[in-house]
Structure 1
């Protein structure tokens, strides 16, 4: 007589919501910033403002996710995974969290070092003014302009790293789901506890 498959050890519903919300917002933000060069001049500023607002939102959501994760540890990976895959998955998750934190922070620093930051306030989705980082805004204008370039380049290079890690993350999940026949996606999708 065949034994029933082990139930899927899944993330909590809150972890799932935060995971997919951050993923969707980041994809929207990528689409927004890639569209800037295709837009007429009068549409660029609203798109950049939306990009900034989404970035700040992602920063808040990933901090919430880290707090939730600390109080609600994620389910362990299935026992059948080789040790090296478990170590690689752990390292990739740490790197993803670091990048998802570093990207909005570097963008916020880049915006705070902008020479027009004093004249053009930043608003969170047009609802209320979002502060610039005070110690950056108070710097000498020449040095601040150099920092603006450094923070901007850092933001761009971090985004390239995130794209690569995102492809690796999705590829690994799909490989486990469809090649190895593990119930990998069910761990992060709502549904019955048995994965059915």
Structure 2
């Protein structure tokens, strides 16, 4: 039996639920990044709808991230292949931890930013156009100057978390492709249905 065939048979896979959550969150994040980047360039009457869709996607990602984390605690991921060096193991764990942190930080900072928006009271938001969404009450009740400062600071934080996510996502993809094609390991098969 060749090494490639043996490796293909021996690799440990994620559960189907973990795979589904991984790919759904990934697609939603990429779509939301694109939506966030192009929203200002849309025709004026489309912007509010684009922003509301961006918020709906972000909050959906937050909910799915909670489910994903709970699933991960109940169903630990498969071990990393034995061929990973100690540095690769530390890097993989650090990158995953940072990705999880950013997957939570982006929607939370966006939610805080939205809750401090001075127009929030006159622009109710419906999650996916259906479910009334609650903004963060203690933030909504602050004085206007404090709310404006929070709105501005958390917008900047939201944007910088986005940039950090782009960099980590690129590193994550490059790492998976390196293991798959350079090292000859069935890395992608661990997370593909």
Same fold per TM (> 0.5)? Answer: yes
1:38 deviation in Å? 1.9
Structure 2 residue 46 is the aligned partner of structure 1 residue 23 = no
Structure 2 residue 3 is the aligned partner of structure 1 residue 5 = no
1:36 deviation in Å? 1.4
1:122 deviation in Å? 1.1
Provide the secondary structure at the position in 2 that maps to 1:76: coil
> What CA distance in whole angstroms lies between the structure 2 residues aligned with 1:143 and 1:2?
66
Structure 1 counterpart of 2:52: 49
Structure 2 counterpart of 1:148: 151
Deviations 1:38-94, CA, capped at 9 Å, x for gaps: 211101110010000000000000000000000000000000110110010000000
Moved more, 16-25 or 26-35: 26-35
Q: How large is the RMSD of aligned CA atoms in angstroms? A: 1.1
Structure 1 unaligned blocks of 5 or more: 191-196
Structure 2 counterpart of 1:107: 110
1:153 deviation in Å? 0.5
Structure 2 residue 137 is the aligned partner of structure 1 residue 128 = no
Residues 180 and 136 from structure 1, CA distance in 2 versus in 1: closer, same or farther, beyond 3 angstroms? same
> What CA distance in whole angstroms lies between the structure 1 residues aligned with 2:40 and 2:121?
25
> What CA distance in whole angstroms lies between the structure 2 residues aligned with 1:49 and 1:33?
11
Give the TM-score normalised by structure 2.
0.96
Structure 2 counterpart of 1:73: 76
Structure 2 counterpart of 1:157: 160
> What CA distance in whole angstroms lies between the structure 2 residues aligned with 1:134 and 1:30?
27
> What CA distance in whole angstroms lies between the structure 1 residues aligned with 2:57 and 2:124?
16
Structure 1 counterpart of 2:67: 64
Deviating runs (4+, > 3 A) in structure 1?
1-4
Structure 2 counterpart of 1:189: 192
> What CA distance in whole angstroms lies between the structure 2 residues aligned with 1:25 and 1:61?
10
Deviations 1:83-106, CA, capped at 9 Å, x for gaps: 110010000000000000000000
Provide the secondary structure at the position in 1 that maps to 2:122: coil
Structure 2 unaligned blocks of 5 or more: none
> What CA distance in whole angstroms lies between the structure 2 residues aligned with 1:15 and 1:2?
30
Count matched residues.
190
> What CA distance in whole angstroms lies between the structure 2 residues aligned with 1:73 and 1:31?
32
